[in-house]
Amino acid sequence: MNKLSRLQTTIIGFFAGMSVSFFTLPIWIATWITFAREGSRTDWLGFIGAVVGAGATLIAGCVALFAAYKTLAPVKSQLDQLVRQNDHSLIDRLSVRAARLNDEAILVQQVAANCAVVAKALERFDFDTVQIGPAVDGLRTAVQRLEPSIEKLQRQRGEVWGDVDTQRLRNDFVDLALRAGSRAINLIMDAEANPGSFIRGHLRKEWGSVSEEIHTYGAQLYSIVKQENERVGRSIAVVERRLL
């Protein structure tokens, strides 16, 4: 479409120039006749020299313009190729970042959900209805489920992104998750060592506040991660339109 437009423009310009030349031809002829009748030979030669000089200048300008066009054509092709290479590199980086953001969103949800599972397991340690064996087994399973998700979240912490507030929120959430993991290990150790004392202790109540704090921070962070992932997705769509 671009080549066709340039061709059409060139044709229109050519015929426009021919039209102007055709309509101004009588003026040039009248001028030559006037010089021939009234002017001296010196004036006539000077006029002819000026016309020839102007024509030579015009031809030289056209040649220079054509040479410049022939020079710019490969340069433009190289620039277009460079832009495409940059777009390919950019879309690769954006795709990697989108994948990591998606992984982080999943990990945030997993940590919050696993903390809630631990809280649910602690509900089985009710003083009046507790069955020690099943209750301890359920708590052990919940803690074992929580630990890997916290370890993965800790590894995800290495990639820094977002503004200062986002970075602070990410660090706070990871620190809170690590403290929750440590407390969960203490819970199962105490429950296995002395179930009777564990039932009467305050560790179960303390976990409730930890789980609630994890949920609050996690909801905020999850929302920010999803917004960033959507922004990266829009950028990928823009680059893909240029490439495809």
The top-level CATH class assigned to 86-243 is mainly alpha
**CATH 1.20.120.1730 location in the chain:** 86-243
Residue 15: per-residue pLDDT:
47
Q: What is the 3-state secondary structure (H, E, C) of 176-207?
A: HHHHHHHHHHHHHHHHHHCHHHHHHCCHHHHH
pTM: 0.65
Please report the pLDDT score of residue 2 as a whole number: 44
How far does CA 38 lie from the centroid of its chain?
76
HSE, CB side, 13 Å, CA atoms: give it for residue 206: 12
pLDDT at 195: 74
Closest CA to 162 of 152, 170, 151: 170
Q: Mean pLDDT for each 10-residue chunk of the chain (244 residues)?
A: 48 50 54 56 56 62 65 70 81 90 93 92 74 86 93 85 90 93 88 74 75 93 94 90 81
pLDDT at 136: 87
SS3 of the chain: helix, strand, coil, percent, to 5? 90, 0, 10
Cα 231 from Cα 110, distance rounded (Å):
23
CB 228 within 8 A of CB 170: no
